[in-house]
Amino acid sequence: MPDEILVDRDAGVATITLNAPDRRNALTRPMARALVEVCDDLDADPAVGAVVVRGAGGFFCAGGDRKTLADAGRDPATPEAWSGIGDVYRSFQRVGELEPPTIAAVRGGAVGAGMNLAFATDLRVVATDAKLISGFLPIGLHPGGGHSALLGRTGAREATAALALFGERIDGARAAELGLAWQAVDDADVDTRARELAAVPAADPELARRTARSLRTVLGPPALPWAAALDLERASQMWSMRRKDIGSE
């Protein structure tokens, strides 16, 4: 099996690539753990002044791997199921904790937990035609991973409600209009634009890390801290997984 998390370092910019294009980079438990390990490694490298997160194969991330979710749904109360979902949650939470400034380069689409991953970063550059889909309610699942907190901390409460409660789908152009992304560009230009933005903080990694820490502290966490949102949503999400599995029998 090829490495499903790739890392490239160049001139102070680290690029994390989700490398499972056959499933549109959906997160499995091993992949999530590998992402956490990569983040730990990047934080330990003082030469890294910015991080770009992207997906291989022209798609950002389709969320949690369906088999992983289905397995958890059969008996959510087991320690294995509980910790497995926790590993997926932890992966995008860890991206959100990276010391350097972070950018999500979103091509193709970001769905469910894939949106969590994109919104865990400081900034998003999206393809004009990329699809941003909350996707939980339409398939009978409660949102998880701090989904509402991550979307809502942009300040776009209406957009958060439309996506998470009413199943609305938007493209990258609309996301930029709503303030959910910094910029929407042609698909072919997403990675280049993200790299251009990352180059500025990457030129002075120590200053970039200090500034990122200050900005995040000043702006403050969402009304409910992210860690609390993780715990609050996990029980309801896993209940909805079990309900969905029972209903299919």
201 belongs to a structural domain: no
202 belongs to a structural domain: no
DSSP element (H, E) containing 111: strand 109-111
- State how many domains the chain has: 1
Distances (CA, A) of 110 to 124, 170, 217, 233: 11, 10, 27, 20
19 belongs to a structural domain: yes
User: Could you give the CA distance from residue 230 to residue 249 in angstroms, rounded to a whole number?
Assistant: 29
99 belongs to a structural domain: yes
197 belongs to a structural domain: no
Adjacent-strand bridge partners of 109: 131
215 belongs to a structural domain: no
Segments of the chain scoring below 70 in pLDDT? 1-2, 68-77, 79, 81-83, 220-224, 244-249
Range of the domain at 12: 5-188+221-243
Is the pTM above the cut of 0.75? Answer: yes
164 belongs to a structural domain: yes
119 belongs to a structural domain: yes
Structure tokens at 49: 């002044």
> Which CATH number do you get for residue 127?
3.90.226.10
